Amino acid sequence: MLRHDGSLKYKSYIFKTMLENDKGGKIINELALFPKELQMYCKYLPAFENLYKKAGWHIQLAPRCLLAERKDNIINFMFEDLQERNFKNANRLEGFDMVHMQHSLRKLAEFHAASAVYEEQNGAYPEDFQYSFIDTRHNLSYLQSKYNTTISSYNKAMALWNWDKAEEYIQKLPTFDQYWKCALASLEPSPNSFNVLNHCDFWSSNIMFAYLPNGELDNTLLLDFQICKWGSPAEDLLFFLTTSPNGDIILKEHDSFVVLYHARLVECLRVLGYRKSIPSLRSIHQDMFDKRNTYYAFFACINHVPIGLFPADKDSSIQNFARPDELGENLRMKAFTNPNFVKIVKELFKFYHQRGIFNFEDYD
């Protein structure tokens, strides 16, 4: 950038484009995730922020999208570089402390509230937003082999956990049929419940924070809107509360997190003039037990939690994690026997089973 005095100022931007099929983009491109994100950045996110602006609040939900284009069937985005505003990700290996959880849940509630008000004022979202990780409009035959490969590694790893309940919980892991019915249930949100546009990939890697000079947390923004889906906010809550809090508070403060989220949700719905019934705290808790929403907690336990707690190395990509060969198996076994993961997932399994959330025989 050329200044008035003739000197140069360097400015950075973030460029995002579609991957080639042979470089991990095949499934992403087949599921049309980029077209959905194009709708989010060009239409819905600006509309959500404008709802707050009209109400007299300045709420930014995501980084500024400076360019969004479809060129020769390739979708490209240009974003502001949030690092220039001192935004950064928190340490995913440590997990979020209470302050980061509070700020994240407030931002999630702001996003959810605006999406509900927008739907009330403008009608239902397009068909694309009925689907997320699972999109039954496409050939999903690969999912069974992928699931069986993952669960086979999980079984082997659990046997090495030196856990007296290992065999009991191995037997409770869902068959593919149970898992598939659980996934399909997530595509049928209750019309009688409070529903929102879920982010559906709301975890530590997709949240950035800015801090004041004294280290105090100042602002929070969300990233990656490729798999947003209409449904109960319990989907995002279960996913986030399973993947992102640190081990000291993940279960201890579980119910407190829901209270924090609900309080901000109600505040935002009211300021935005939501005319339908405001969801009660009781109803949010009830939805978290509903079998329609279990998928997001279990999928997190077998995918995002082990990946999120695994220290980065040259082989630790999501693509390699799903590979059926020796490289994939070795990576999964490292992740599933990682002491940090084992410690947390033991408690998560016990917690969700005791609440009936992981009772997969309910899908038989």
pTM of the model: 0.94
Element of type H or E holding 15: strand 13-17
Dihedral angle of Cα 202, 206, 210, 214, to the nearest 10 degrees: 80
Q: Is residue 8 part of a domain?
A: no
Q: What is the number of domains present in the chain?
A: 1
Residue 226: how many other CB atoms lie within 10 Å: 18
Q: Is residue 7 part of a domain?
A: no
Q: Round to whole Å and give the CA distance between 211 and 356.
A: 39
Q: Are 288 and 234 in contact (CB under 8 A)?
A: yes
Dihedral angle sign, alpha carbons of residues 56, 61, 65, 71 = negative
Q: Round to whole Å and give the CA distance between 50 and 57.
A: 9
Give me the count of residues in the chain.
364
Geometric angle at alpha carbon 66, from 61 and 72, rounded to 5°? 120
Range of the domain at 158: 15-363
Q: Round to whole Å and give the CA distance between 305 and 156.
A: 17
Chain CA centroid to CA 214, Å = 30
Question: What is the pLDDT tens value at each position of the chain, 364 positions in all?
Answer: 545 565 566 789 999 988 765 555 566 666 678 899 999 999 999 999 999 999 999 999 999 999 999 988 889 999 998 998 999 999 999 999 999 999 999 999 999 999 999 999 999 999 999 999 899 988 888 899 999 999 999 999 999 999 999 999 999 999 999 999 999 999 999 999 999 999 999 999 999 999 999 999 999 999 999 999 999 999 999 999 999 999 999 999 999 999 999 999 999 999 999 999 999 999 999 999 999 999 999 999 999 999 999 988 777 777 788 889 999 999 999 999 999 999 999 999 999 999 999 999 999 9
Give me the sheet containing 217-222, strands edge to edge. 87-88, 207-211, 217-222
Q: Round to whole Å and give the CA distance between 167 and 170.
A: 5
Q: How many CA atoms lie within 13 A of 360 on its CB side?
A: 20
Dihedral angle of Cα 39, 205, 330, 180, to the nearest 10 degrees: -50
Q: Is residue 4 part of a domain?
A: no
Q: What would the DSSP string read from start to end of 258-305?
A: HHHHHHHHHHHHHHTT--SPPPPHHHHHHHHHSTTSTHHHHHIIIIIH
Q: Is residue 10 part of a domain?
A: no
Q: Is residue 5 part of a domain?
A: no
- SS3 for 237-268 is HHHHHHHCECCCCCCCCHHHHHHHHHHHHHHH
Q: Is residue 66 part of a domain?
A: yes
Structure tokens that stand for 284 in this block = 């949010």
Q: Is residue 131 part of a domain?
A: yes
